């Protein structure tokens, strides 16, 4: 039996994914090679990602989830008729982006920036590592997930060899909708090079329209590669790869890999995940994501250039 006949119909950004074997598949689990750094490098070069099933301590992940669902309850996002830990949201809560829930949050800081994960990157890079101070926290209610993009346009002012680490806080079924990556896309510079080196916060000082957009926040380039996951897959020609994630899993990938997420087709549950970034300590870092209150994509992060 083919892999995909056993998968349910998957959806992303409001589109049905094409479910043929050559259009969708499962992520390769690299937990077997976790201690074999040479093999991890080989797989990362080949696949553009490493999916480490059970790479984190499940109890720590669930403790972190509890801290997040408490924070989401305090922010009024949860339906308090249910236990907070279940992450049942109020109707229409949509795509909640709350990075502030990760600041001064010992459970999150410990999970993401010490212990197993820090050690994983230290061994992988073979030298001291550092991470961005900013942590992206997403709690996605029923509806659309994230559209296809690469990460570099959002964080390309330092090294380009840093890695994203995506962590699910709890099990994420196909219905709840986890991350998906576009197979082999990191090698398709022929299709990416006019997109991937653009900076979402850069504008041309010598173009009045762009200066105006910078002032008013009406940004022209959002960093999105496509709003149509099946169409972009068709262009790149390979498969969307995903899985049903469990608490304790993580997936790490580079700046050039096209990724997106499945839609949340549950009735009322939040899909909760974070994404953070690690890099070699010796390499330059993108200052938008450093400090107690990083500028990020605010006006302070905008950069005028002559172009």
Ligand X SMILES: O=C(O)CCC(=O)C(=O)O
Smallest gap from residue 226 Cβ to ligand X (A): 13
Does position 179 interact with ligand X (CB under 6 A)? The reply is yes
Between CA 189 and CA 193 the distance in angstroms is: 5
Cβ–Cβ < 8 Å for 75, 258? no
Instruction: Report in angstroms the alpha-carbon separations of 108 from 61, 64, 127, 242, 250.
Output: 8, 5, 24, 24, 14
Q: How far apart are CA 233 and CA 252, in angstroms?
A: 21
Residues 6+ apart with CB under 8 A from 58: 246, 247, 248
Tell me, residue by residue from 128 to 157, as one string, x for binding to ligand X by CB under 6 A and - for no binding: ----------x------xx----x------
Report the DSSP pairing between strands 202-204 and 303-305: parallel
Contact (Cβ atoms closer than 8 angstroms) between residue 252 and residue 53: no
Of the candidate residues 47, 201, 249, 275, the single one contacting ligand X (CB under 6 A): 275
Residue 224: CB minimum distance to ligand X, A? 11
Q: Is residue 286 within the footprint of ligand X (CB under 6 A)?
A: no
Distance CA 277, CA 259 (A): 15
- Provide, rounded to whole angstroms, the least separation between the CB of residue 207 and ligand X: 29
Query: Which CB sits closer to ligand X, 25 or 223?
Result: 223
Q: Output the smallest distance, CB 259 to ligand X, in A.
A: 6
How far does CA 87 lie from the centroid of its chain? 20
Closer Cβ to ligand X, 84 or 138, answer by number: 138
Order of strands across the sheet that contains 240-242: 24-26, 240-242, 179-182, 259-261
The pair of structure tokens assigned to 130 is 């550092």
- Counting contacts by CB under 6 A, is residue 12 touching ligand X? no
Q: Restricting to residues 80-139, which ones interact with ligand X according to CB under 6 A? A: 138
The least distance separating ligand X from the CB of residue 291, rounded to whole angstroms, comes to 21
Residue 302 contacts ligand X per CB under 6 A: no
Measured from the CB atom, the residue of 42 and 198 that comes closer to ligand X is: 198
Is 166 among the residues that bind ligand X (CB under 6 A)?
Answer: yes
- The residues facing 24 across adjacent strands are 240
In the set 164, 185, 226, 252, which binds ligand X (CB under 6 A)? 164
Smallest gap from Cβ 128 to ligand X, in A, equals 23
Residues near ligand X, by CB under 6 A: 138, 145-146, 151, 164, 166, 179, 259, 261, 273, 275
């Amino acid at each position: 039996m083919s892999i995909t006949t056993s998968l349910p119909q998957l959806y992303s950004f409001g589109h049905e994914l094409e479910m043929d074997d050559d259009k969708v598949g499962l992520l390769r689990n690299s937990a077997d090679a976790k201690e074999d750094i040479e093999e991890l490098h080989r797989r990362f070069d080949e696949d553009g990602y490493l999916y480490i099933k059970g790479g984190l301590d499940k109890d720590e992940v669930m403790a972190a989830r509890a801290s997040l669902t408490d924070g989401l309850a305090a922010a009024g996002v949860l339906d308090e008729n249910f236990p907070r830990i279940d992450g049942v949201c109020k109707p229409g809560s949509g795509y909640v982006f709350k990075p502030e829930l990760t600041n001064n949050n010992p459970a999150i800081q410990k999970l993401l920036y010490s212990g197993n994960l820090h050690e994983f990157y230290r061994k992988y890079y073979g030298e001291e590592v550092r991470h961005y101070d900013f942590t992206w926290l997403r709690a996605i209610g029923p509806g659309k997930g994230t559209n296809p993009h690469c990460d570099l346009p959002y964080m390309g002012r330092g090294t380009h060899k840093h890695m994203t680490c995506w962590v699910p806080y709890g099990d994420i079924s196909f219905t709840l909708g986890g991350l998906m990556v576009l197979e082999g896309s990191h090698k398709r510079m022929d299709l990416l090079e006019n997109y991937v080196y653009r900076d979402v916060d850069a504008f041309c000082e010598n173009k009045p329209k762009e200066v105006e957009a910078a002032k008013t926040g009406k940004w022209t380039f959002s960093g999105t590669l496509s709003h149509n996951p099946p169409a972009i897959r068709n262009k790149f020609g390979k498969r969307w790869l995903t899985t049903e994630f469990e608490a304790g899993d993580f997936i790490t990938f580079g700046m050039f890999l096209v990724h997106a997420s499945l839609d949340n087709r549950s009735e009322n549950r939040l899909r909760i995940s974070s994404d953070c970034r690690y890099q070699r300590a010796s390499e330059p870092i993108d200052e938008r994501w450093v400090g107690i209150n990083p500028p990020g994509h605010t006006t302070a992060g905008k950069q005028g250039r002559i172009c």
